[in-house]
Amino acid sequence: MPTLGGQGQRAEMWRDELRLDLFWVEVGSVLVAAFTGCSGLSGEIAVETFREGGLNDYEHKLPGPASYGNITLTGGMAATHELWKWFNEVATGNVVRHNVSIVMFAQDKTEAFRWNLEGAFPVRWEGPTFSADDENLAIHTVELAHKSITVGN
């Protein structure tokens, strides 16, 4: 079985402690919602190539600008309408950017991982599907564009 960072059994035990059922979302420093799914945590560095005169056997490759994919949060549950209000504000022309954190907790409710999005704003909001026999809280999807991702506190 593969190990994480050479930690062996300790890494396996630690993995079992993670709560993979919810990801909490902070806007600013305020917890606003919990989501069951998160996708799009990605970054890419463009590669610029050029040929140098007299060197025909290779091309130079240099790192270009970084770009980051939109984050899609699914299966959301929130006690307030803060995410909708933020989306509506952007939709009506008042683009307000916030720093957003996606936080995963361990079983003992201590923070395990944190992904920080700089300068985020919502670009898509999907409301819940209502059903009279559904006992779940309002569930929706939010997609966020952002400038960059950092990992950690």
Query: Which SS3 state, helix, strand or coil, does residue 13 take?
Result: helix
Query: What's the rounded Cα separation, in Å, for the pair 118 and 47?
Result: 23
Query: Which SS3 state, helix, strand or coil, does residue 10 take?
Result: helix
SS3 content of the chain, % helix, strand, coil (to 5): 10, 45, 40
Query: What does the pLDDT look like over 27-77, one tens digit per residue?
Result: 988 888 888 889 999 999 999 998 888 878 889 999 999 999 999 998 888
Domains and CATH numbers, the chain: 19-151 (2.30.110.20)
Cα-based angle 31, 34, 37 (whole degrees, multiple of 5): 135
Query: What does the pLDDT look like over 78-106, one tens digit per residue?
Result: 878 888 899 999 999 999 999 999 998 87
